[in-house]
Amino acid sequence: MLEALVAGTTDPQLLAELARGQLPKQLPALREALDGRFGPQHGLLVAEMLARIDQLDESIQRLSVEVARVLVPFSRW
């Protein structure tokens, strides 16, 4: 949903259809919440936050691989 907002999608109906998890149970309220102003400044901030999340996910993956490698000698216990 955030990626769609950053890409310029503003239609609350289309955005609400992207809901996952527990959100689809509350589609009317979600559509109402998505009916607002999301300007370029908001898109810039959200895009930066999403990029940072991606960076952190990559760091977690690299560290997980390293931890698994270091723990190999202890796997026989």
CA distances from 73 to 8, 57, 61, 69 (A): 50, 26, 20, 8
Structure-token pair, residue 47: 């895009």
Q: What local confidence, expressed as pLDDT, does residue 24 receive?
A: 85
Q: 66 pLDDT band (50/70/90 cuts)?
A: very high
For 16-41, the pLDDT digits (tens) are 999 888 888 898 998 898 888 889 99
Rounded to the nearest angstrom, the gap between the alpha carbon of residue 38 and the centroid of all alpha carbons in its chain is 17
Q: Are 50 and 36 in contact (CB under 8 A)?
A: no
pTM above 0.85, yes or no: no
pLDDT of 75 above 80: yes
pLDDT of 59 above 90: yes
CA distances from 55 to 3, 40, 41, 49, 62 (A): 16, 22, 21, 10, 11
The structural domains of the chain, with segments of one domain joined by +, span: 2-74
